[in-house]
Chains A and B, each alone.
Chain A
Amino acid sequence: MVNYILMRLLRMIPQVLIISVLAFIIIQLPPGDFLTERLNRLRASGYTVDEAEVQRLTKMYGLDKPMHLQYLKWITNIVTKGDFGYSFVFSKPVNEIIGSRMGMTFFIAFLAFVVCWSFAIPVGILVAVKQYSVVDYFFTFLGFIGLAVPGFLLALVLMYVSYSWFGLKVGGLFSQEFQTAPWSWARFVDFLKHIWLPVIILAIGGTANLIRTLRATMLDELRKQYVTVARAKGLSEFKVLMLYPVRIAINPIVSTFGWLLVWFFSGGTVVEIVLNLDTAGPVLWRALMNQDMYTAGAYIVIIGTLTALGSLISDLMLAALDPRIRFGGLEVS
């Protein structure tokens, strides 16, 4: 087990490295470096630019150095000081803009995750046990729809429905009056009133996917001999299900932790933009629209690292659950 954890941790290093290189490439993609771009814009709009400031920034980001040194400088700043650079759109260090908003993005993803698992696991088991029943068909149909409708379209339609039918203006994370207010009970309630919609929208696709996966693995497991053996021991049907097929079918579900997180971050970006939430997605959007690449790069590094961590956690959970992995035996089918 210790070996496995070590191996798995080692594998994360190249993973995060590739992510950072990818982010750096993205930062460099727009023609010209961002500083010249920015200065040109400022000059064009009639500002006088302080040469000393230009010098300082050029030095700070190593813009006068060759590419690989620039990368080293950038990554060292991130690793040692946690400094992701400066956003020219928001005129603030990237950390300040992204930090708190990333937390909110993560929180929404976490809630979506809770909703997803707590709904999909019992339903997935149920539809497998009741294969070809009305319940099964109902959820299969719903699952297809859930997979086909991307979150942001759902958000659009729900916004329209709630506005035109109920006169509700959904969107944002807080009502106007609580936007800048300090945390209080009333603000928290207001927050809950807003957050359920993005959470549900995010959870739907993942839930549909999860139910499908669980149904398929459960059906495979239910046919196995050990289920009959367990029944022949005299265990109650519930115990048979829980201790045998569910115990195994749950493994692939645990391994979905990693990709569900990816799914939530990926689809969540557009949903957050549509619903105009104070989260990281809209920041990325605004940054990209203005080619504010340091902010975009920071977003990708953080999200990428978080998902890498997510898959690490899910692999470790899987190893804890499945002795076949712990003992380096069979690949899990």
Chain B
Amino acid sequence: MPEQHTTPQNSSVLVEIKDLRTYFFLAEGVVRAVDGVNLTVNRGVTMGIVGESGCGKSITAYSILRLVSPPGKIVGGDIFFYKVPKDGSSSQAEVINLAKVDPNGETIRNIRGNYISIVFQEPMTAMSPVRTVGQQIMEAIILHQKVDKKTAREMTIDILARVRMSNPERVVDEYPFQLSGGMRQRAVIAMALSCRPQLLIADEPTTALDVTTEAQILKLMRELQEELGMGIMYITHNLGVIAEMAQEVAVMYLGRVVEKTDVKELFFHPLHPYTQALLTSIPQLRDALTRQEKSRLNVIKGMVPDPYARLKGCPFHPRCPVMISGVCDEVEVPEIEAAPGHMVRCHLYTSH
């Protein structure tokens, strides 16, 4: 049985991830895609998650919805979801440990698409080409809101209008391949929002789109967040988008959160050498234009290590410019609260 109990606390916490470990068991070895992640997402707040590809940010998101399928497996940790009933029958949150529920069970299926929704990176492949946009949105509404087809259809048209889809009455009967990329991503967002979720996970939703469409979609998501008051977990590798969207940020490197704070603090006082390197490697438009000699971008030296290898100490040490040998390559780093609300995982801030 999944761990279920109600707590009297009426906090703003929506999802609390504690020491989550999701591993992939492949023939070549074990990939520790998520290796001890701690994260908290609050209601009505956007938590941005940044990192290079392969750092485990998407797998963390999939783990929340239990969408990690074999050979991947959650091997440890907890994901507490503070479920407040949607019908308003109680303002008390029921705490469900998603890491412990049956991945195909009733509990998680009632949460998926209903309390927690996800928008994926590729709008092109997120919908089946042989069913209409309406059919694919309606099925979630019918499933979770227990309404008849006609009502569901009206609700679908309504939600399509809300994501500023032009001509929603027509689009509802169209097939995904008849829509443009931006329109399709709007439809996918509509699908995710159709049941007014409390948490929206956005996994690089604008990466595949052009810059103009990206700006429109980001604006739309901010507006919808205000309208619906949901928490957003925004996954991206784009620091610009983070600056625009997020209030809180977590930086991930090799399956761990290495730094976590609010967005201003991160941009102005980055503590972790990896975060610092990330920020200095952003091309500055003004600098590039004003400088006579085009200086090279600051590049993080080295490569992401072999995913099958397990590094001793801090996983960033082979690439770190300020590596303390004998410490960073030996001693496991704990999470440190370096400043109030500013967590970092680096030996520079420990008393090693």
Contacts and interface: CB of A to CB of B under 8 A. Distances in A.
Interface residues of A, number: 25
A327 B175 contact: yes
Interface in B107-123: 109-114, 117-118, 120, 122
Contacts of A8: none
A224 B112 contact: no
B143 A323 contact: no
A50 interface: no
B276 to A, nearest CB: 35
A165 to B, nearest CB: 44
B219 interface: no
B interface bracket (residues with beta carbon within 8 Å of A): 20 to 34
Contacts of B109: 234-236
A68 interface: no
A228 to B, nearest CB: 6
Interface string A155-187: 000000000000000000000000000000000
A233 interface: yes
Contacts of B144: 234
Contacts of B110: 234
Contacts of A225: 120, 122, 125-126
Contact of B140 (A226, A228, A234, A324): A234
Contact of B112 (A232, A247, A248, A327): A232
Contacts of B128: 226, 230, 243-244, 247-248
Contact of B177 (A233, A237, A251, A330): A330
A229 interface: yes
B16 to A, nearest CB: 20
A233 B191 contact: yes
Contacts of B118: 229, 232
A251 B128 CA distance: 13
Contact of B129 (A232, A236, A324): A324
Contacts of B175: 323-324, 327
A232 B130 contact: no
A137 to B, nearest CB: 17
Looking at chain A's contact residues, is the secondary structure mostly helix, strand, loop, or mixed? helix
A323 B130 CA distance: 6
Given A232-B117, A233-B191, A329-B177, A248 B129 contact: yes
A236 B139 CA distance: 11
B127 interface: yes
Given A225-B126, A247-B131, A329-B177, A232 B65 contact: yes
B104 interface: yes
Interface string B178-193: 1000000000100100
B67 interface: yes
A244 B176 CA distance: 14
B120 A229 contact: yes
Contact of A251 (B65, B67, B130): B130
B305 to A, nearest CB: 27
A225 B185 CA distance: 13
A228 B120 contact: yes
Contacts of B114: 234
Contacts of B140: 233-235
B113 A233 contact: yes
Interface string A307-333: 000000000000001111001011000
Interface string A193-234: 000000000000000000000000000000011101111111
A229 B127 contact: yes
Contacts of B117: 232
B130 A324 contact: yes
B189 to A, nearest CB: 12
Nearest to A250: B130
A235 B143 contact: yes
A18 B119 CA distance: 53
A151 to B, nearest CB: 34
B130 A248 contact: yes
A327 B144 CA distance: 32
Interface string B75-111: 0000000000000000000000000000010000111
A153 to B, nearest CB: 39
B323 to A, nearest CB: 38
Nearest to B144: A234
A251 B129 CA distance: 12
A224 to B, nearest CB: 6
A68 B112 CA distance: 71
A243 B137 CA distance: 13
17 contacts: A229-B120, A229-B127, A229-B188, A230-B128, A232-B113, A232-B117, A232-B118, A233-B143, A234-B110, A234-B113, A234-B114, A235-B140, A236-B104, A243-B128, A247-B130, A322-B130, A323-B175
Interface of A: 224-226, 228-237, 243-244, 247-248, 251, 321-324, 327, 329-330
Q: Which 8 A-B pairs have the closest CB atoms?
A: A234-B112, A233-B113, A234-B113, A225-B125, A233-B140, A234-B109, A323-B175, A232-B118
Given A229-B127, A232-B65, A233-B191, 14 more contacts: A225-B125, A225-B126, A226-B125, A226-B127, A229-B120, A229-B126, A232-B118, A233-B113, A236-B104, A244-B128, A247-B128, A324-B129, A324-B175, A329-B177
